[in-house]
Amino acid sequence: MQDDQQTAAQEIAALKAELAQAQQMAALGELVGTTTHEFNNVLMTILNYAKLGLRHQDGPTRDKALDKIMAAAQRAEKITNSVLGLARNRKPEFAPTQLAQILQESLVLLEREMQKYRVTVRLEFDEVPNVRAIGNQIQQVLLNLMTNARQAMPQGGELVLRLSHDPAAGFVDLTVRDSGSGIPREQLPKIFERYYSTKQGPDASGKGGTGVGLATCKDIVDAHGGKLRVESTVGKGTAFIVRLPVFSAARPAAAPITKLGIPTEQAQPEF
């Protein structure tokens, strides 16, 4: 009987790992599509203004073309650095991680999407210490939460990203708050359940509606010894708060990682 239970538990863990891997690959696929489209826009801008500068010999026109080319090149540099940030953060071990940097890189990848759906972004960053995290996993969480926030504001709105430090508890809080319609109180206890979704399926951008994203986010945050919680008021909006432990040099930075990307060490108790 005990062997059967152990086998069942192992099978469940393996399926959970495969599902999380599929979710991560889907998220990466969405990012590839987004960045490829954005790079194409940047290249078209550079090509068009280069042609304009070559056609016209007057100084003002050439200066305008060069300014536009420079702005587009700087935009391309930001996108490249954000994608490289994803690659740098793929090492599967805990390390001192700057949340502000990950947030800025994630915003670059979603900037055009936010503009398209008329969502303004407000940053409220306190000075916070590095957290103990696996960078690309936390970025996966942030991209998911920010995309959810954008989808909660189909008519546009404001996205607030806040960083704060609780030195007494040894945690950093990262808040993703939208000004959308909010989540009814009776649905809040279920939103971290796998396959439960408040959406009717993917939106026009092809994102959302599977009910897997928030469950995976919670798994990742829990595995970091942190906590993911939600606050929502119907008609006013929703906030997701990611709480992560501050990095301490006294604690080893690396930890064994399973196929899922979940550490095998025991997570810290919830606060």
**Does the predicted TM-score (pTM) go above 0.85?**
no
Give CA–CA dist 30/23, Å, rounded. 11
What pLDDT is stored for residue 29 in this prediction? 67
Amino acid making up residue 166: D
Residue with tokens 């042609």: 51
E strand spans, 32-103: 95-97
Choose among 22, 46, 26: nearest CA to 34: 26
Give CA–CA dist 41/72, Å, rounded. 9
Q: Give the SS3 label for residue 176.
A: strand
What separation in angstroms does the CA of 268 have from each of 43, 64, 70, 189? 47, 56, 48, 22
Give the torsion sign (CA, 4, 22, 212, 137). positive
What length is written for the chain? 271
Q: Distance between alpha carbon 197 and the CA centroid of its chain, in Å?
A: 18
Q: What angle do CA 156, 29, 150 make, to 5 degrees?
A: 10
**What token pair was written down for 194?**
């796998």
What pLDDT is stored for residue 46 in this prediction? 92
Give CA–CA dist 109/113, Å, rounded. 8
Choose among 69, 31, 1: nearest CA to 146: 31
Strands 131-133 and 157-166: unpaired
What pLDDT is stored for residue 271 in this prediction? 30
pLDDT tens for each residue of the chain, 271 residues long: 677 777 888 888 777 777 666 666 666 666 667 677 778 888 899 999 999 988 988 888 988 999 999 988 888 887 777 777 666 655 668 899 999 999 998 888 888 889 999 999 999 999 999 999 988 889 889 988 999 999 999 999 999 999 999 999 999 999 999 999 999 999 988 888 876 666 555 555 555 544 458 888 998 999 999 999 999 999 999 999 999 999 987 655 444 344 344 443 333 333 3
Give CA–CA dist 82/104, Å, rounded. 8
* Dihedral angle over CA of 13, 18, 22, 25, nearest 10: 100
> What is the Cβ-side half-sphere exposure of residue 113, based on CA atoms within 13 angstroms?
26
The CATH homologous superfamily to which domain 1-271 belongs is Histidine kinase-like ATPase, C-terminal domain (3.30.565.10)
